[in-house]
Structure 1
């Protein structure tokens, strides 16, 4: 990807995992599965303003964790550990498996409205998907 906010990940079922902001690249791409992974819809964005194949709300951090983190990058290490624990839960594994099934054999794009992609749950999720193929 040429998008500076995109973070390329290793192979996942024949494709790769990328993280993009919903505002940066709204179009569909051939051979990709685009999954919106925020719990809340971005303010001021119409649902038809960017392409996504699935909205995986359940893959977003819990409301409690999201509020605790509040995008304070000094808490990112602890946030990462807590969020990964949520992904390891039974409900988290079910949601992860759902996204893996959608992306089987395709490149996967995780979409988020977060400004700081490098310190976002989408980044942690991409790492998690990469490590737990």
Structure 2
């Protein structure tokens, strides 16, 4: 993916079960499935980027098994490298309009989830 040259973008991640704060900036849900027990009002989303989440097959294969983490990252990055996904990422960054971006995810595992991978991909794309 080519780099998007702008000022440095602040990208953070947050569980869907943590309260929204003004510092979150542009809030994007990056899960394919809506987080249980949460509603639109409490999530305070700017976007649900369902199509940027891992494919259903990849999500099911991974199952948040830490032993599959390295392979999951490689496979997910490969999915994100498709032209359609690159265009969706460009739109997401354009819609964020230089605001901080917070990637929202529902997984219990805070160390092995797609938001970590997507944050890394976005950070490498958005170099200043």
TM-score range, shorter chain: 0.7 to 0.9
The correspondence for 2:80, drawn from 87, 93, 96, is 87
Does structure 2 retain, via aligned residues, the 8 Å contact 1:13–1:104? no
Q: In the alignment, what sits opposite 1:121?
A: 114
The alpha-carbon deviation at position 15 of structure 1 amounts to 3.4
Which 5+ residue runs of structure 2 have no aligned equivalent? 1-5
Shift of 1:76: 0.4
Q: Provide the TM-score with structure 2 as the length reference.
A: 0.87
Report the aligned-residue RMSD.
Answer: 1.6
Pair 1:130–1:23, CA change in 2 (3 A): same
Summarize the alignment of residues 32-51 of structure 1 with structure 2, pairs less than 5 Å apart.
32-51=25-44
Q: Which has the higher helix share?
A: 2
Asked if 2 retains the 8 angstrom alpha-carbon contact of 1:33 and 1:109, the reply is: yes
Offset of 1:30 from its aligned partner?
5.7
| Paired position in structure 2 for 1:25 | 19
Residue ranges of structure 1 left out of the alignment (5+ in a row) = 1-11
Q: CA 1:77/1:25 → structure 2, altered by over 3 Å: closer, same or farther?
A: same
Q: How many residues align?
A: 121
Point out the structure with the larger strand share. 1
Contact 2:30–2:50 (CA under 8 A) maintained in structure 1: yes
> Cα deviation per residue 1:29-53 (whole Å; 9 max; x = unaligned)?
1671111111100122222222110
**Which runs of structure 1 show a deviation greater than 3 angstroms over 4 or more consecutive aligned residues?**
12-15
Contact 1:17 1:126 in 2 (8 A): yes
